[in-house]
Structure 1
């Protein structure tokens, strides 16, 4: 018996149908990536602080990578409890606690040429401190001359709501851990050497860290 051979038109229609099915099977619709929105608990943690001497607005944490949210983590530093550790390359600050845990904060750090590293001590700390620019900074930025004798506390003050003062071998390093309201500086190297945290975070850290605590700044 002789089998009927398909004509050219039937063959082309069949081939097109198979190709269409193949394409349909391989095609994927890109998934829409939703932003990592902060939880209500996180929003409360970074909410407004109206009872501060200068009321602090809520932090725009929707603009902040969630890895920089304040959180308790397994301590990766190996430092003894009660130590502040600044992990400059990864933009984290750790307050080492008991039981192998640490409170981790996201930070902004000094840009190249203005960074500092080593071991020291949190000699003292201040709420709503005055800011006095170093003489060499005034040379670089003459517009700061008006603050040679200090800038009054306030939201515009570069140190913000809290400052912790880093000493080494009994000498002031001129480096500080201090507050910022600029969320977009967290995780970046742009400041003139100091370690900056969101205002809500530095207030939390300030309450935990007693004067005299050791600090390690890793470069």
Structure 2
């Protein structure tokens, strides 16, 4: 059996200790460092393009995580799929896109949907694309009232609510409410709902943005 040592109370140890103040927190750099480029000798026997991409992305991710760790900022959730979407949205390269599809096991159409959502709304936009939730009834009632009140189309506006999504029947447009209180415009293309514009504070502004982007309204 182990014997118990009496020890020294922490209060007694630190009673007379003097602690120097921590150095002032410096702001993060405005942007990540310059991307690293490998020369021919260093690239022998390895995938130079893939490694350069990973190095550049690691710098961008580190910068974003440093910024998000500062007081008042939200921590960014990271996982393989969201990382892949972010990389695909940042690098317009067919080979990179193909490799990301293979690495995540997703179809090109799925990654295309996700990339467009990320470009318009970042991680929150991707969440709106992939997840439905039930907003407070008051928020939906206010949105519906404003949509009907401000509608100036020649035909009546028929709206259908499903979770956080409001669809304008017959117009091939939809708006989705994010958990942060912003509205995301969507338009139907080839039988699927695509993100089609940046976020809006007001439901009617998001509806107008969706109508402007809808193939059927062009």
TM-score bracket, normalised by the shorter chain, equals under 0.3
Greater relative contact order (CA < 8 Å, ≥ 6 in sequence) = 1
Computing the radius of gyration over CA atoms, which structure comes out larger, 1 or 2? 1
The normalised TM-score by structure 2 is: 0.26
The normalised TM-score by structure 1 is: 0.26
